[in-house]
Amino acid sequence: MNLRRIRLVLWALVAVALAGVLALQWAGRRREPSQAAFRPDFALQDAAGRTYGMEDFRGRLALVFFGFTNCPDVCPTTMSEVALVMNDLGSEADKVQPLFISMDPQRDRGQGLSEYLAAFHPAILGLAGDGAATQAAAESFRIHFEREESPAAPDGYTMSHSPGLFLIGPDGEWLRQFPHETPAAEILADIQERI
């Protein structure tokens, strides 16, 4: 009888400890967005040479993607999803600014970044800077990119990069990242809840 009581007490203590650990984990997750919150920024130019930063999009949501025009799959797939989102937003599309930041600015400018993006959707704004401004923008968004030699690629190189699509709030604060191949319907639903 005494051994049985000891076992029950031990099991009760294990249950209480487990409940405590789960409560701490849940509380940590609830705090995680504010701890991870940051305000990315950049100073990059459009095709006309006008310089933009995140402050130029205050009051609207921004969908930001880092890519390059010679990207064979990730970039065009993501831009197609962004185009679907913008079309499906209808009259609320003016509350969202899609941005494509070039990680290969010299080549992308020469190949017509604006024309490339207009083929997906006219609202997508293409931005490019020099090497230092591009690196600063990537660091601000906490993403990675680098040039990789590839004899089969145009000009003998390609760009390795983080494929996420970033949602930035009207106040300029990072809200979330949509992983590559997130369906347009899921992105749209998230945006509509925030508008």
The CA distance from 86 to 80, in Å, is: 10
Q: How far is CA 177 from the centre of its chain?
A: 4
Q: Which residues contact 6 (CB under 8 A, 6 or more apart)?
A: none
Beta strands at 61-67 and 157-161: parallel, antiparallel or unpaired: unpaired
**Widest distance between CA atoms in the chain:** 85
Residues annotated in the binding site, as ranges?
Answer: 71, 75, 161
The CA distance from 129 to 45, in Å, is: 6
Residues annotated in the binding site for Cu cation, as ranges?
Answer: 71, 75, 161
